Amino acid sequence: MLIQSTLLALSATLAAAVKPLTVKNQFFVDASDNIFQIVGVAYQPGGSAGYDAALGKDPLSNGDICRRDAAILQILGVNTIRIYNLNPDVNHDECASIFNAAGIYMILDVNSPQVAGSLQNYNPWESYYDTYVNRTFAVVEAFKNYDNTLAFFSGNEVINDASSAGQVPPYMRAVTRDIKNYVAKHSDRKIPVGYSAADVREVLFDSFEYFTCAEDGQSDDPSRADIFALNSYSWCGNSDLQKSGYIDLIEGFSNTSVPVFYSEYGCNEVKPRVFTEVDAIYGEQFSAVFSGGIVYEYTEEENSYGLVSVNTKDQSVTLLKDFYTLKDQFAKLDWKKVQSVKSAKDGSGPKPPKCDKKLITSKDFDGNFTLPAMPPNVPKILANGVSPKPSGKLIDITDFTSKYTVKNADGSVISNLAVKPLSSDVSNSPGTNDAKIQSSGSVSSSGNSTSSGSDSQPESTDTKNTSGAAGSAVAMTLPAMAMGAFAIFAGLAL
């Protein structure tokens, strides 16, 4: 064990950071011009309780927890995590550097459950003001210098029904514009900014057309989303492209001019989950349009979507049945083939349509492309940068060993657990970290019943959208963190 730790420490001085990804045509591409497929997991340990501004606590504030989780996610085969609630006033250098060394990119939501932390989905003009916009800029400022920052989400499921579709679109597009302008002025590189949508088919494709069109027909329109993602739970159990409605998504996004991917997936109506959609998501038909997806979610909360269970008393982790099943599904694929597709010539992809109300099919959707002006004080913040200004930078990590106990589903301890630092421009993939864990065949179907020992609340509502091919069900997918923020705003309005 001493020898292993010494070798890991030595490799830390030799390992180089993963290089930033870029957007080319309608895909993410790496430094070798290969199309990058997101193999992700939603990462919000403790749910909404994992964010506590008063304690300076968020999912990327504790290096020891990040070592533990980065090692586990490496074993799973993940190359991307999505983090919902972040505190820009907390230093994230250690955690960002650990995930960077592990070959894992980060997609970051700029909103939070705090007052003035998000755009509300009713009367959005009441929440679109300088304090809120400053907060979104601060998140960008805190994470823009990490090479493994892949993208920012300007909003998550803010449009989730016909009512919100009638008010939110111009304000959501304005927030995207503001963040993109901040990135353009204050970041050394272009970092994609886009929207994470609820898979409510009545408004999904209108949202896509509205956010990804270009007002002047040019792709450099600052209010146009650089990426578009959706939280979709329509593939349940042993489904297929037709039953799940996936075929409709392939067809609906087939002419996309920006990367499209699942920002959440993993229906749990059938338990334990079987994740048969993995083969479809990374298959040739789907990956010709989509750029992968993010499984919901890492830790077990009250909504029962967890891959692992965390004991909050001693920070030990137990792998659950879903972890082993998902790992097995990932292991079936030829990842060298999946991640080695060369991109087409720049500019040869679909062009963004010119914004026009004719793009919008629903009479309830606000297709007005005259966006609200920046709130008072925001132009000054945009020009000068946020103050005080958060700063982040990648740092050398000399210890990659997990200090916390991690157990298999049968209770046996995984020995010598550590992050395996990767070499330059190498993202994580299944099999990179070959730590010995329990075989999936010996895990009972009740593996997900392990108690977490946590008193935290779930990050999202218990009910996820599982609309199928018809897509007619109204989604109940608005995250609890946003619901909480909206309730606060409502209380203030009263």
Catalytic residue IDs = 157, 264
Q: Please report, in angstroms and rounded to a whole number, the separation of the first and last CA atoms in the chain.
A: 60
What is the rounded CA–CA span in Å between residue 19 and residue 40? 17
Distance, in Å, from the CA atom of 94 to the CA atom of 219, rounded to the nearest integer, reads 36
In degrees, rounded to 5, the angle at the alpha carbon of residue 100 between the alpha carbons of residues 325 and 440 is 15
| Widest Cα–Cα separation across the chain | 67
How many Å apart are CA 306 and CA 322, to the nearest integer?
7
Cα–Cα distance for residue pair 236/473, rounded to 1 Å: 15
C-alpha 159/C-alpha 76 separation (Å) is: 32
Pairing label, strands 22-24, 27-29: antiparallel
Q: Residue 273 has which token pair?
A: 């989950």
Residue 412 is given by DSSP the state: P
Asked whether 57 and 45 are in contact (CB, 8 A), the reply is no
Radius of gyration of the chain (CA): 21
For residues 57 and 45, what is the distance between their CA atoms, to the nearest angstrom?
11
Which 8-state DSSP code applies to residue 270? S
